[in-house]
Structure 1
Amino acid sequence: MTFLLQKIYNTKNSRYYQAVLDIIEGLKLWRLAFSLGWFDIKLRYKGSVLGPVWITATSAAMIATMGLIYSSLFKMDLHQYLPFVALSTVLWQHGMATTLSDGCQCFLQADDTIHSIKLPFFLQALRTIIRNGIILSFNLVIPAIVFIYYNKNPGWIALETIPGLLLWLIDGLAICLFLGCICARYRDIPQIINSFIQIVFYITPIIWLPSQLKHRIVYLVYNPLYPIIDVVRGPLLGESVGLRIWMYALGYSIILWLFSGYVFIRARGRIAFWI
């Protein structure tokens, strides 16, 4: 009996148990995470008349400019190119790139809260993803307008983007935990990540079509961001994503989850001291 009680006590005090408990407790506080994420947006645009609409207007101007210039450079039909670049740019800029950048600041920006109130660390990751999800939803109106203008209707195949969005949600939380822990310890990492984002932007089909690679398109799957973005982008463009793309997307995601879980379990008890 004494051995059993000791085993239960040791389990409850283990890093693995505490990390899992942190995630569960954080999920229970999703309403608080949503309120904090919305408050972050209101605070960011405090005193602004248009608020997040400024980001949408800026993105729209950039997409229109890129569409006109690059369609001429690549000799692409604007009817085909502009919907692609509009959707790709919004998903990249306000989905992937923002998640990577904000993931680095996940715990650093919440240092006052972490030091003053005992809350699950996972709550801060959920808060970051919800904030970015709200901003992404604001900006999805841009490709929607472009689709309507060019009479591009993806049809029922667009529903296939739902599992892709769920994968993005889980991956985004994993990125926040992974980068949040590392950047709390090593403050030079955010600069490296920002440089990485700029480089990967040009080697990922965002402003150029995958078909432009012709027979070399098979090598695109070795860029982890390509299959992950394509499981969301493809169905919205009316293109069914093949099993091969999904296999790579899930494979890269599993690797990310394993690394994220390992780092969070190891670093969770020290985050408050690092920040």
Structure 2
Amino acid sequence: MQPTSTVADPQAPLAPDSRTFARAFADVRDAWRNRALWGHLGWQDIKQRYRRSVIGPLWITISMGTTAVAMGLLYSQLFGQDISTFLPYMTAGFLIWNFMVGCITEGTDVFIANEGLIKHLPAPITVHVLRLVWRQMLFFVHNLVVYVIVAGIFFGTLSEPYHMQGDPNLHPGISWTILLAIPGFFLLAVNAVWVALLFGIISTRFRDIPPVIHSFINLVFFMTPIVWHTGILSKLGEGSGDWRVLIAELNPLYHFLEIVRAPLLGHAQDWHHWVVVGAFTVVGWALALVALRNYRARVSYWV
């Protein structure tokens, strides 16, 4: 009698019921139920990165603080901005940007980097995405210390109604509306999951995607209102229309940035940012679920 092989053929067609939305939803649901697993792995990632370091994860905060303060001081002088309002603006923006970019760039490699676990650990592939987002959230909490220090130093200015130079809008100042940053960040994390899931699946199949995104993201940084604010564009557009404002408005990352940054700084909340982010959340998760439905079983063969 000939022995029966149990090794799956990567070129063999998938079982008919393996490409269903029920399986895709089950993958996400089961990954969430395994939060003890990806939560532990996320902690271990940080501990491993700073193994044998004297101050450990505090290097995250020191690096973030040094960069934010240096860039804030530089660009405040270049743009003629008041340091008491611009430095908190720059710090908050840079903090949120690091979280978003970390999820995007590492998301492209999320399955490739976890090749060993994917092939030997029987777990939903979404586990690796949640591990990535959880790790970036821990980095964000570490870096949040820098914002608290900067905001504390300039709290007198930020707690009263104020203008940013070149910005016609009067901002009401920090108040109870700072709590809106919590649902804003939660929505940011929800979107980070589908971004890493979708880009991770595509990049696993097409290995040219990660370097393209890594290169493109540097350009997007300077086109996103982080080291400058939209009030400058409005001022430049006086007398010739406000078409320059579209530079920011057509950038999706600007809207994700604002739903967290505006409450943190006590800026006037513009609800159209929430509408845009909500639309991207629905469309993005729909695309991610389609990719998960069709290619979830192929990821282990592609890595």
Change (3 A) 1:139 1:174: same
Name which of 252, 263, 267 aligns with 2:295: 267
TM-superposed deviation, 1:129: 0.5
Asked whether the equivalents of residues 228 and 249 of structure 1 are also in contact (C-alpha less than 8 Å), the reply is yes
For 2:50 and 2:109, the matched residues in 1 are separated by 19
Q: Is the counterpart of residue 226 in structure 1 residue 231 in structure 2?
A: no
Q: How does 1:7-156 map to 2 (within 5 A)?
A: 13-93=18-98, 95-151=99-155, 152-153=158-159, 154-156=174-176
Change (3 A) 1:236 1:21: same
Partner SS, residue 50 of structure 1: coil
- CA RMSD between the two structures: 1.6
With normalisation by structure 2, the TM-score equals 0.84
Which aligned runs of 4 or more in structure 1 are off by greater than 3 angstroms? Answer: 10-14, 215-218
Show CA shifts across 1:145-193 (max 9, x none): 0000111342200111122112111101001111110111111111011
Shift of 1:16: 1.7
Structure 1 gaps of 5+ residues are 1-9
Q: CA deviation at 1:114?
A: 0.9
1:174 is aligned to 2:197: no
Higher helix proportion, which one?
A: 1
Contact 2:19 2:293 in 1 (8 A): no
Q: Using the alignment, how far apart are the partners of 2:21 and 2:63 within structure 1?
A: 44
| Partner residue of 1:165 out of 169, 185, 192 | 185
Unpaired stretches in structure 2, ≥5 consecutive residues: 1-14, 160-173
Give me the identity figure in percent: 31
Q: Partners in 1 of 2:56 and 2:200 — Cα distance?
A: 27
Task: Name which of structure 1's ranges 63-72 and 124-133 shifts more when overlaid on structure 2.
Answer: 63-72
Residues 213 and 11 (structure 1), Cα distance of their counterparts in 2 relative to 1, 3 Å cut:
same
Q: Which letter does structure 2 place at the counterpart of 1:233?
A: R
Alignment partner, residue 215 of structure 2: 195
Deviation at 1:46, TM superposition (A): 1.2
Q: 1: distance between equivalents of 2:153 and 2:203? A: 43
2:138 maps to a residue whose letter is I
2: CA distance between counterparts of 1:14 and 1:254? 21
Larger Rg: 2
CA distance in structure 2 between the aligned counterparts of 1:51 and 1:102, rounded to whole angstroms: 21
Distance 1:256 1:241 in 2: 24
Helix, strand or coil at the partner of 2:111: coil
Query: 1:218: Cα distance to partner?
Result: 4.4
Whole-angstrom distance in 1 between the partners of 2:182 and 2:59: 28
User: Quick check: 46-55 or 27-36, which moved more?
Assistant: 46-55
Partner of 1:4: none
| CA shift for structure 1 position 228 | 1.1
Contact 1:221 1:248 in 2 (8 A): no
Asked if the contact 2:21/2:290 (under 8 Å) is kept, the reply is: no
Q: TM-score, normalised by structure 1?
A: 0.92
Deviation per residue, 1:43-98 (Å, 9 max, x gap)? 111121122211211221112211211111100000110000011111112x1111
AA aligned to 2:223 is: I
